[in-house]
Structures are given as structure tokens and as C-alpha cells.
Amino acid sequence: MSNERIAFLKGHGTENDFVIVPDPDGRLELPADLVARLCDRRAGIGGDGVLHVVRSAAHPEARAMADEAEWFMDYRNGDGSIAEMCGNGVRVFARYLQHAGLVGAGDLAVATRAGVRRVHLAKDAAGGAAGDVTVVMGRAELPEEQVTVTVGDRSWPARNVNMGNPHAVAFVEDLGHAGDLYSAPPFSPAAVYPDGVNVEFVVDRGPRHVAMRVHERGSGETRSCGTGACAVAVATARRDGADPAVTGSPVTYTVDVLGGTLVITELPDGTVEMTGPAEIVAEGTLDPSWLRAATA
Ligand SMILES: N[C@@H](CCC[C@H](N)C(=O)O)C(=O)O
């Protein structure tokens, strides 16, 4: 692999940024240390994670979804670890497919480790490819366990929400109380999240409008987390006494993240939809000598 010219792109959704590695036939190996080197912001390209773009039929984890979704998002966190789902990633993934001419505006299905996700690529006002992207994120699970999240000498009860990946949502008075988030906030009991957790800190901004910061499992503090924003919207709705399954009406929250704004709607059947931007920023090839050193 080290002598090949490997193509990459860089993209982001509300500044949750990704190195995109197109590999339709699933020929590339992406060991964790190479992913971490790619995501390194000083010695690599830089990103919160990697979107490895593979045909579902060519990937052992996605073959069973190939009839429903031609493309598989093999998502990796910035430290090289594997995650089930990435909400901003799936928007950027769809934008890449459109950018590469592999799909047009409209609807498509993307296979992920959390299952198939439906995506809608809107056209912008000029009919171009820069409109918002909506993802049907599936249903949130809200396990009952009590969780506590701690930063310094402050602790908060947190809501356990699973959006295909695990989240702990804590309502705080001030986003500054989350501290520098250079390391993962401790949580207890540890047994609730045996594989680690993404932690969201939330403040109110207005009616059905919140702001959040997030510490992502495997990536550190990021400027946005799509699954996190969905977890926050659902946890906030329950805190506010709003449950679309009970009222029969959708509930929409605006969620401000450090890198922009996401709009999240929960439908009466429990399905959560997320809408936000997704952009391709650059493309190029990996330098073979850099790649040789990175994989040595
Ligand atoms: N940034 C993502 C979430 C990526 C996965 C997460 N770090 C995990 O390990 O579960 C998003 O936009 O959802």
C-alpha cells in the first residue's frame, strides 16, 4: 500500500471535520495508527475522524446491507478507534458522494455500523450542491440508568441516550463549567458505558433552543457532534415534558454547537431527523513517503 497514490478529501459539517478516503472496492487497510496519523493536525491532514468510503458489497461489515445501501460509511474516530455511527459524518459522506458524481441531489441510503440511514441532499437556492443535508437518524434509546458526570469540583446528573452510539447529556448553568475538556470527563457508574461515552454539556438559549459542548469518545472536544445534538434534543424534550409519541406532534429543537447550528426533529414514531450543512473543502493525494513512514 505504501507505494500507492492514495486519494483523500477533507470535509466538515458544522466544523466536525473529517479526512475522507475513497476506496470503493475496499482494497485499503486502515490500521488505527494510520487513521490517527491522518487525523493529526500537525503531522497529518487533520480531522476529528476518517470517513472511509467503501461499497457495501465490498466490506464484510456491510455486505448484508448492500441491497439497501450501495455505500458504507466505515467511520473511525481521530484516535483510530471504531464507532458505530457519526451523524455529521454521514452528511459529509453523502456530500462527498454527490461531489464525486456518484449520487445526485435527492434521497439516498448510507450503510453504517448502526444500520442503514436515509439521507436527503437538498439543492441550494441556485440549484447547486451546497444546500443542507438531512439524515434520518433512527430512534433514540433512553436507558433508565442514573449517570453522573464530573468536571473539577462540579457534578451533574446526566441522561443516558443511545443514538446508535452512546451519549451522556448533562444540563449545566454555563458551558464554561465544562472546563477545557482536554480529557474525557469522568462518569459513574463506569459499568453504564463499558465502551466509553460521548459527553454533552447543555445550556438553554430560548424556547426549544439549546447550546452544547461535547467531549467525543476517541476524538476529544469537537466543534460539533451530530449524534450528540440528536441526543441533546431528545433529552431536552423529555426534560421539558415533550414526547412526540404521547402528543402525536413532532418536536423540533435548534441546537447550537461551537461550529454552527443543527436542527433536530423527533417524530411521533420516535424517529429523529437532523438537518445541517456539509462541505467538501479540499482534495489531494497522500505523499507516498509520508505514507511509508506513517505505516512503517
Ligand atoms: N462526531 C460524530 C460522532 C463520532 C463518533 C463518536 N466519537 C463515538 O465514538 O461514538 C457525530 O457527528 O455524530
157 and 268 both lie in a single domain: yes
Identify the burial level of 148 via C-beta atoms within 10 angstroms of its C-beta, where 0-12 means exposed, 13-18 middle and 19 or more buried.
middle
Question: 125: pLDDT confidence band, cut at 50, 70 and 90?
Answer: low
- CA 94 to CA 149: how far, in whole Å? 34
Asked if residue 139 is part of any domain, the answer here is no
Whole-number pLDDT of residue 128 = 58
Confidence band of 130 (pLDDT split at 50, 70, 90): low
Residue 2 within any structural domain of the chain: no
Question: Residue 190: its pLDDT value, please?
Answer: 92
Give the position of cell 467525543.
Answer: 216
pLDDT at site 5 = 86
CA angle 88–23–104, rounded 5-degree value: 60
Q: What's the rounded mean pLDDT across residues 138-163?
A: 96
Give the cell for residue 127.
Answer: 440549484
- 227 belongs to an annotated ligand binding site: yes
Pair 174, 116 in one domain? no
Average pLDDT over residues 15-34: 97
Averaged pLDDT score across all residues of the chain: 95
| 65 within a domain of the structure (yes/no) | yes
Q: Is the CB of 83 under 6 A from ligand 1?
A: yes
- Residue 142 located in a structural domain: no
33 and 47 together in one domain: yes
225 is catalytic: yes
Label residue 196 left, alpha or beta by phi (over 0 means left) and psi (-120 to 50 means alpha).
left
CA of 42 to the centre of ligand 1 (A): 22
- pLDDT of 124 over the 80 cut: no
- 159 with 252, same domain: the answer is yes
Confidence (pLDDT) at 198: 98
Q: Are residues 151 and 267 in the same domain?
A: yes
Ligand 1, atom nearest to 89 Cα: 12
- Ligand 1 pocket, 218 CB below 6 A? yes
Peptide bond into 22 cis (omega under 30): no
What does the alpha-carbon distance between residue 110 and residue 217 come to, in Å, rounded to a whole number?
Answer: 23
- Give the confidence band of 296 by pLDDT, cuts at 50, 70, 90: confident
For residue 167, the model assigns a pLDDT of 98
Per-residue model confidence (pLDDT) at position 145:
87
Are 267 and 243 within 8 A, CB to CB? Answer: no
Active-site residue, 230 included = no
**126 in the same domain as 12:** yes
Tell whether 268 and 154 lie within a shared domain.
Answer: yes
- pTM reported for the whole predicted model: 0.96
Does any domain span residue 168?
yes
pLDDT at 129: 57
> Using alpha carbons only, what angle is made at residue 101 by residues 97 and 106, rounded to the nearest 5 degrees?
65
User: Distance, CA 289 to ligand 1 centroid (Å)?
Assistant: 30
Mean pLDDT value of segment 266-277 = 97
Any known ligand binding at 162?
A: no
Any domain includes 137: no
The pLDDT score that the predictor gives to residue 110 is 98
- Radius of gyration of the chain, Cα coordinates, nearest whole angstrom: 19
CATH number at 63 reads: 3.10.310.10
Q: Are 97 and 59 a contacting pair, CB within 8 Å?
A: no
Q: Is 155 a member of any domain?
A: yes
245-250 long-range contacts, CB within 8 A, separation 24+: 245/269, 245/270
Evaluate if residue 127 carries a pLDDT over 70. Answer: no
Residues spanned by the domain of 33: 7-132+279-295
As a whole number of angstroms, the distance between CA 254 and CA 41 comes to: 30
Same domain, 118 and 164: no
Element (H, E) at 280: strand 279-285
- Dump pLDDT digits (tens) for 177-236: 999 999 999 999 999 999 999 999 999 999 999 999 999 999 999 999 999 999 999 999
Q: Are residues 287 and 266 in the same domain?
A: no
Residues 171 and 285 in one domain: no
160 is in an annotated binding site: no
Please identify which of the residues 38, 210, 225, 237 carries the catalytic annotation: 225
| Count of domains observed in the chain | 2
Q: State whether ipTM is beyond 0.90.
A: yes
State mean pLDDT over 8-17. Answer: 98
Average pLDDT value for residue range 256-276: 98
* Residue showing cell 447550528: 261
If asked whether residues 17 and 64 sit together in one domain, one would say yes
**Residues whose CB is less than 8 angstroms from the CB of residue 188 and which lie 6 or more positions away in sequence, other chains included:** 147, 148, 150
- Residue 61 has what pLDDT? 97
Of 76, 240, 233, give the one whose Cα is nearest residue 139. 233
Nearest to 177 by CA among 145, 206, 153: 153
Asked if residue 96 and residue 184 are part of one domain, the reply reads no
Contact 179, 150 (CB under 8 A): no
Report the pLDDT value the prediction gives residue 131, as an integer from 0 to 100: 76
**Rounded distance, CA 14 to CA 126, Å?**
21
Is residue 170 situated within a structural domain? yes
Q: How far is the CA of 127 from the centre of ligand 1 (A)?
A: 30
